[in-house]
Amino acid sequence: MRSLLKVVASMLIMIASSSFSQKFDGLALTPPMGWNSWNTFACNVDEALIRQTVDAMISSGMKDAGYEYVVIDDCWEAMERDAAGNLVADPNKFPSGMKALGDYIHSKGLKFGIHNCAGTKTCAGYPGGRGHEFQDALLYASWGIDFLKYDWCSHGTANSEETYRTMRDAIRAAGRPIVFSICEWGDTKPWEWAKDIGHLWRITGDITDCFDCEINHGTWSSWGIVKTIEMRKGIRQYAGPDHWNDPDMMEIGRGMTLNEDRSHFSLWAMLAAPLIAGNDLRNMKKEINEILINKDVIAVDQDSLGVQALKYSDNESGVEVWIKPLKNGEWAICFFNKSEQKQKIDFDWSKNYISDDVSKNTLNTKDHVYSIKDLWTKKNLGTTGKNLSADIPSHDVLMVRLMK
């Protein structure tokens, strides 16, 4: 115990000197991609599930498509810390221990993520990190952790910015580069203060597997896809390489229709959101797998320019037009039909001069004619020299890329 206290004390001295008071830069130059256990399994997590999920991520083609983080959410812990104050993995759920599990994940060319909480308890009642940040960061480093999702339950009167800054400093002092995912649900506007603290920050409460709903739990709510998108406006300028707005993990393959799943994935890509799957990868249907590994849509999300899409228009028929500038002067356009009926679009490119204040890019089809690729059917839809006409089914999208 004394040796541990000496280590922690030396880490505090390093932090005080300010030489380590910064996050590890360059770990998330594009939005992180991976899988998280919570949406499907909640507290029903164990070593076998994680190993099987790792194998499924590879066999399904998700690893080849860019997914790399395997994140164990809440409930992996024993109910108490050990005598030295260390977190302990539940020995029944994870009999081989977290170091061995991390070694397995790394041996498959993937990265290991874990969950804890900035409060005294996690949301499920397990030991939180408050007061143990430097000790926990050392432990995570020893396990080979690559990604830390840090929740916000049981935080009392703590200041969010100071609390997350402490954990950031602990990660830095421990010496292992770890992507730091801030999960305080957008309550204290982390987009305004977290750029130098975390690599991504949640901007909403928890998502749920419905298209457009709110599920009220009394003191908090879960939100459907449309409500999640509509919850935060005017914050796209805060997102960019190494600091992303996070609208939560994806619900694809969890009970919505294929149209809705396709819209969900398209919109997350347009928003430059982290692409963290939440379904059971071990038995997903072929059509779900095809959505998750659509490399053309993923390329929009992972575009190195790192600009979050602008909602350009929203007409009375229920069709929204989202526009995302891409590198090399290209553009992604998503026509999103959130209505209950099929809608017809007839988009006149010549009448839509688009100037983006965030990227400083302009789309002027009078000066340049672009070719148009449908990112879901893979078809060439002609050029911007003529109107784009199409029927979009209910709750579905037409997502295209404009190429020079």
Residue 249 lies in a domain: yes
Q: Does the pLDDT of residue 76 top 90, yes or no?
A: yes
Residue with tokens 């070694």, as numbered in its chain: 103
Which one of 301, 328, 350 terminates a domain? Answer: 301
Q: Of 73, 74, 151, 303, which is the active-site residue?
A: 151
Report the CATH number that the domain containing residue 122 is assigned in CATH: 3.20.20.70
As for how many domains the chain has, the answer is 2
Residue 226 and residue 96 share a domain: yes
Q: How far apart are CA 281 and CA 277, in angstroms?
A: 9
Q: Does the pLDDT of residue 9 top 60, yes or no?
A: no
Q: Are 201 and 174 in contact (CB under 8 A)?
A: no
Q: Of 136, 206, 280, 356, which is the active-site residue?
A: 206
Q: Does the pLDDT of residue 286 top 60, yes or no?
A: yes
Which one of 281, 301, 321 terminates a domain? Answer: 301
Residue 368 and residue 252 share a domain: no
Q: How far apart are CA 246 and CA 200, in angstroms?
A: 6
The average pLDDT across 162-184 equals: 98
Q: Does the pLDDT of residue 196 top 90, yes or no?
A: yes
The average pLDDT across 286-315 equals: 97
- Which structural domain range is residue 329 located in? 310-403
Burial 252-262 (b: 16+ CB within 10 A, else e): bbbebebbbbb
The average pLDDT across 265-273 equals: 98
303 tagged catalytic: no
Residue 3 lies in a domain: no
Residue 120 and residue 75 share a domain: yes
Residue 322 and residue 226 share a domain: no
Q: Does the pLDDT of residue 43 top 70, yes or no?
A: yes
Residue 14: what pLDDT?
Answer: 47
Residue 21: what pLDDT?
Answer: 65
Residue 44: what pLDDT?
Answer: 98
Residue 4 lies in a domain: no
Q: What is the pLDDT of residues 324-334, one digit of tens each?
A: 999 999 999 99
151 tagged catalytic: yes
Residue 315: what pLDDT?
Answer: 87
Q: Does the pLDDT of residue 27 top 70, yes or no?
A: yes
Chain mean pLDDT for the chain = 95
